[in-house]
């Protein structure tokens, strides 16, 4: 928590509700820290999986109908229900890294992507505020950064990165949609490190501190 606060220059709004997790899976309802346009000086907690602000039914039901853990950035200009969020409710999601996968010889090999300097990555997101005050959010995805191209062949997109220097512009209400789209485009100044990790990542019942350590697969 303190590492996040120092990096983003903001304090957790509800520090007692935050618990660090080795791996965060969006398959079940979970809260993650975000920095919003509404309160850029605070770290808020948001439910991962965007919901319409007027939605009052079950989160799991909505995710079954339309998965909003991630939203392609190229869709935000379309006349969709979340277009207004890109214009007025952009956020930054601070993480230590994210995962990619390579399909090779009939098997899937996972990789962990992190900042080369060991710091926190800023992922681009959008959010909504529900009628009951809860926040929901989604990661924006875009083209692969050059460091990731050889480590992701299942899909041709990845979470969009916001460079640290662009944080305030991304969160500013005076930044128009066109400029916000530009901030998402690679290449970014943030250098990335990609390393293989053990395949136990795919077992959702296993989560331990050493699972993100580098792992060398035998040549095949």
pLDDT beyond 60 at 207: no
- pTM here is 0.90
Look at residue 203 in the predicted model and tell me its pLDDT.
60
Residue 126 lies in a domain: yes
77-91, 112-126, 190-204: segment of lowest average pLDDT: 190-204
pLDDT tens digit string along 144-189? 999 999 999 999 999 999 999 999 999 999 999 999 999 999 999 9
pLDDT beyond 60 at 219: no
Look at residue 76 in the predicted model and tell me its pLDDT.
81
Question: What is the average per-residue pLDDT within 21-30?
Answer: 86
Cβ proximity of 50 and 82 under 8 Å: yes
50 closest CA partner among 65, 42, 39: 65
Residue 215 lies in a domain: no
pLDDT beyond 80 at 105: yes
Cβ proximity of 94 and 120 under 8 Å: yes
Look at residue 41 in the predicted model and tell me its pLDDT.
95
Non-local (6+) Cβ contacts of 28 within 8 A are none
Residue 202 lies in a domain: no
* Alpha helix positions (H), the chain: 2-8, 59-65, 83-88, 167-171, 177-184
pLDDT tens digit string along 49-64? 999 998 888 998 899 8
Q: How many separate domains does the chain show?
A: 1
Look at residue 220 in the predicted model and tell me its pLDDT.
45
pLDDT beyond 90 at 108: no
Residue 218 lies in a domain: no
pLDDT beyond 80 at 15: yes
Q: What's the CATH code of the domain at 184?
A: 3.90.1680.10
pLDDT beyond 80 at 124: yes
Question: What is the average per-residue pLDDT within 78-85?
Answer: 84
- Structural domain containing residue 126: 2-97+118-144+156-190
Look at residue 210 in the predicted model and tell me its pLDDT.
61
Residue 182 lies in a domain: yes
- CA separation for the pair 217, 220 (Å, rounded): 9
Residue 113 lies in a domain: no
Question: What is the average per-residue pLDDT within 99-111?
Answer: 89
Mean pLDDT, the chain, as a whole number? Answer: 90
For residue 43, name the pLDDT band (cuts at 50, 70, 90): very high
């Amino acid at each position: 928590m303190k590492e996040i606060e120092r990096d983003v220059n903001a304090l957790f709004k509800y520090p007692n509700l935050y618990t660090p997790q080795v791996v965060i899976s969006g398959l079940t309802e979970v809260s993650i820290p975000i920095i919003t346009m509404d309160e850029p000086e605070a770290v808020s907690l948001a439910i991962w999986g965007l919901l319409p602000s007027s939605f009052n039914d079950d989160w799991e039901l909505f995710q079954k109908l339309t998965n909003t853990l991630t939203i392609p950035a190229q869709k935000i200009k379309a006349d969709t229900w979340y277009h207004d969020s890109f214009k007025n409710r952009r956020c930054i999601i601070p993480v230590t890294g994210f995962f990619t996968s390579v399909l090779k010889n009939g098997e899937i090999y996972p990789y962990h992507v992190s900042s080369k300097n060991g710091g926190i990555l800023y992922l681009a997101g959008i959010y909504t505020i529900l009628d009951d005050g809860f926040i929901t959010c989604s990661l924006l995805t875009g083209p692969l950064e050059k460091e990731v191209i050889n480590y992701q062949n299942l899909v041709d997109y990845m979470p969009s990165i916001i460079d640290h220097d662009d944080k305030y512009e991304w969160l500013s209400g005076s930044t128009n949609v066109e400029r916000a789209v530009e901030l998402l485009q690679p290449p970014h100044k943030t250098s990335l490190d990609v390393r293989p990790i053990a395949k136990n990542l795919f077992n959702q019942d296993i989560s331990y501190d050493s699972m993100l350590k580098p792992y060398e697969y035998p040549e095949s």
